[in-house]
Amino acid sequence: MNALLVAMLLSQAPAQNVVLVAIDGLRPMEVFSGAQRELMHEVENEAGLVDRFWRETPEQRRRTLMPFLWDQVAVKGQVFGNAARGSPVRVTNAQRCSYPGYNELLTGVADPRIEGNEHPANPNVTVLEWLSRQRGFEGRVQAFATWETFYRIFNVERSGLDVRAGWVPPFANEPARTPTRDMLDALYRTTTPIFGGNALDAITWAAQKESLRTNRPRVLFFGLGETDEWMHAGRYDLALESVRRADATVADLWSTLQSMPEYRGTTTLIITTDHGRGVGSSDWRHHAASVPGSEDVWVAALGPGVPALGERLDTGLITQTQLASTIAELLGYDWNAHSPAAGKPLPLGGPR
């Protein structure tokens, strides 16, 4: 049996594990075209930023900014969201901000009751909560994120999910203590909270990586938040740096998973965002119902169940509502049978 046929058969087999990564507020413009030259003018070290991130073509710029996404995921998996090439991905919620976006992503339905980030505990059951009740997934679903609001988004009091988010020391409630875990918990307690309830990406990834050593979830949500924070702050230099580091973090996550027998060859990775943001010299910092462009998002996938079709072209409109059913389908479950209003799974096998 030749290698190509083996790869095709593996891509069609159900995944045993799914890892969903959300890079908060990363708009398709940077994903598909790389750094934007016009936004570098207000940066103090403009020349240095140009040297690091500017290249002549969009394809070169995007590979410079996100090498793992374009050299690995786009080669061995799929990327959706380039509206200029007939593959738009959009949110359907009217608010176009984080909590409504994550609810839509994780349930497959936009809920007009969730009007903003201050909404209380989510009344809706997410696909992660539902999967945690399926045989073989009990105690094997976890969420690790920089933003403290995920305690409400996943409604931990009702769902019972293992959620570790914000600046709460992630190992405080684990009986097994190690010097590494003590150090990480200390970092969470003593680091200046630059972004309020949003912990730093690097610390969160260090804790997540340590957690993987003993907590082996079959479904993992991993949320990174610095991209959105630096864009809101108007720091395009640090926004680009956070995108590059987020890409490197996902690369490290994937490498870590492939080094572990429980995950190697049986894990599908999905990467996406919660909302887009505006365009132009000022609106790029913002996202809201009143800011055009905030509805535009993107999604990428790699692993079992995802044939290597590369950057998807001419797919027609894809919506954020399709992610929840896609996660379930990759694991061999039908989310639409539980939630008929949810969007149908992504067309990962090509045109349907």
pLDDT of residue 8: 47
Q: How does residue 44 score in pLDDT terms, banded at 50, 70 and 90?
A: confident
Q: Is the pTM of this model over 0.85?
A: yes
Q: Mean per-residue pLDDT for 58-67? A: 98
75-120 tens-digit pLDDT: 999 999 999 999 999 999 999 999 999 999 999 999 999 999 999 9
**Res. 351: pLDDT tops 80:** no
Which stretch of DSSP H or E encloses residue 30? helix 28-33
pLDDT of residue 7: 45
pLDDT of residue 12: 57
pLDDT of residue 10: 46
Q: How does residue 219 score in pLDDT terms, banded at 50, 70 and 90?
A: very high
Q: What is the mean pLDDT of the chain?
A: 95
Say if CB 311 and CB 297 are below 8 A apart: no
CA distance 26 to 35: 12
Q: Mean per-residue pLDDT for 285-289? A: 97
- Catalogue all structural domains in the chain, each as residue range(s) with its CATH number: 3-176+204-338 (3.40.720.10)
pLDDT of residue 2: 52
**Res. 9: pLDDT tops 60:** no
Residue keyed to tokens 């293992």? 162
Cα Rg of the chain (Å, integer): 19
Which stretch of DSSP H or E encloses residue 273? none
pLDDT of residue 3: 45
Kind of pairing, strands 299-302 and 267-272? antiparallel
**Res. 232: pLDDT tops 60:** yes
At residue 107, the 3 state secondary structure works out as: helix
Residues in CB range of 270: below 8 A, 6 or more apart: 18, 19, 20, 21, 299, 300, 301, 323, 326, 327
pLDDT of residue 176: 85
Q: How does residue 350 score in pLDDT terms, banded at 50, 70 and 90?
A: low
At residue 292, the 3 state secondary structure works out as: coil
Q: Using H for helix, E for strand and C for coil, what is the string for 244-310?
A: HHHHHHHHHHHHHHHCCCCCCCCEEEEEECCCCCCCHHHHCCCCCCCCCCCCEECEEEECCCCCCCE
pLDDT of residue 23: 98
- Structure token digits, residue 145: 């994120």
pLDDT of residue 250: 98
Phi, psi for residue 22 in degrees, rounded to 5: -115, 120
**Res. 125: pLDDT tops 60:** yes
**Res. 6: pLDDT tops 90:** no
**Res. 345: pLDDT tops 90:** yes
* Pick from 116, 200, 188: nearest CA to 152: 116
* Pick from 208, 215, 219: nearest CA to 330: 219
**Res. 295: pLDDT tops 60:** yes
Q: Mean per-residue pLDDT for 274-292? A: 96
**Res. 53: pLDDT tops 90:** yes
Could you give the percent of the chain with pLDDT greater than 90?
A: 91
Q: Among 57-61, 77-81, 212-216, 217-221, which stretch is predicted with the lowest mean pLDDT?
A: 212-216
